[in-house]
Amino acid sequence: MPACVPWLTSQLCYRMARFSDLLGVSGEVGASGPGAGRYREGMSSLAPGPSTEGCGLRVLWDERLTSYDFGPGHPMNPVRVELAMALARELGVLTAPGVTVERFDAADDALLRLVHDEEYIAAVRHAGQTGLAEERHGLGTADNPVFLGMHEAAALVAGASVAGARAVWTGETPHAANIAGGLHHALAGAASGFCVYNDPAVAIAWLLENGAERVAYVDVDVHHGDGVQAAFYDDPRVLTISLHETPRTLFPGTGFPSETGGPGAHGTAVNVALPPGTGDAAWLRAFDAVVPAALRAFRPQILVTQHGADAHALDPLAHLLLTVDGQRTAYAALHRLAHEVAGGRWLATGGGGYELVQVVPRAWTHLLAEAAGRPLDPAAETPADWRELVRGRTDEVAPRRMTDGSATVEFRRWETGYDPANPVDQAILATRRAAFPELGLDPLET
């Protein structure tokens, strides 16, 4: 979640034209961006894994989650979560066998103190009561304007993620999801990048307090998951993996491959910093070259994931070129990995994503359907009632289908060889060289 910028008509027009190029010129979704031409031969999809059909899923939801609202004109408009839940409901995802939608308690101060400083929690509460800025704590900035009830709204988001973690860890459900969560930039003593309390970090800290010895966190937001990494940088019990646009061109300016963990925890921070223009095929190649091997080496007991949808080509705040089809392919891969390496225990959260109508609702509906073990047909039409809701809530025309044009997204696997001149391959190799040896892996092995 980046520095706050306005929606520019010229930028939207450029991205729509660029997105049309992605879908229409090459005929190969994701075969654009750095090194696109090198991914046209020897293509494959992500490898199959354990069966994920018909999984149990607990969705943590309360209409009050939409009170996490920085106000008119702010990119993080809660309508995106409202529309995602409405789309999932209309498509039958939330009423599928094995899926429950449940309420939860807000995180109390004791839970929040697992990650956040007591002084900061008090500052958030005070700012939310008075409307006054607390700028030394990052409150009242352009990115994080103060709003009344801020503490209560942010604590509710954190409570949802902790409730999901608790339900999975205690065996009540194999999978849980909080699409209003994923606020991965918040630091121990400061708000940052639209994030007040770091709900994924609080959920992970709760897991550690309750007996977990190895927790893996995978973040596919376009921005580096800096707050979660910082919370556990010196803790060898937590593996953080983040695939994001290079910090050379995007907020928060962290997430270089050289960031591999603090003393006693080397190799437990893994960062894949991708160049602007990376599309589906190249992004999935990077994912496949790093994430499965790192997870298998770490052997987590539970997988926590953050699914910011802002790596999409239409997102106004970043520069990657994924499609909804590339994103749902990543969700399926993470689902399979949860079953392969973590005994099926999986907590999924939302995250960034600022194309409020065209991208976020479809992406997170696919996420919920995948987590339920009942993935949607990409060619399915969006329901007419949902399209009417979109028009009424946003005055925009909703997408008509759940796909951006490709039923299967293919890419060239790492073991087929790498191109040292290709910027995506350079990024992959930098990550493997920095982190893999500490995990007992050979960075050059294909």
Q: Which residues are tagged catalytic?
A: 185
What is the number of other CB atoms lying within 10 angstroms of the CB of residue 81? 24
Phi, psi of 157 (to 5 degrees): -60, -45
Cβ atoms of 413 and 285 within 8 Å: the answer is: yes
Strand partners, 176: 58, 347
Give the integer Cα–Cα distance in Å for 287 and 204: 22
3-state secondary structure 243-265: EEECCCCCCCCCCCCCCCCCCCC
DSSP string, 37-105: GGGSSSEEPPPP-S--TT--EEEE--GGGGG----TT-S--THHHHHHHHHHHHTTSTTSTTEEEE--P
Pinpoint the alpha helices (H) of 170-223.
199-209
How many angstroms separate the first and last alpha carbons of the chain?
33
CA of 150: how far to CAs of 117, 136, 139, 189, in Å?
16, 17, 10, 15
Sign of CA dihedral 232, 233, 236, 241: positive
110 Cβ neighbours under 8 A, 6+ residues apart:
none
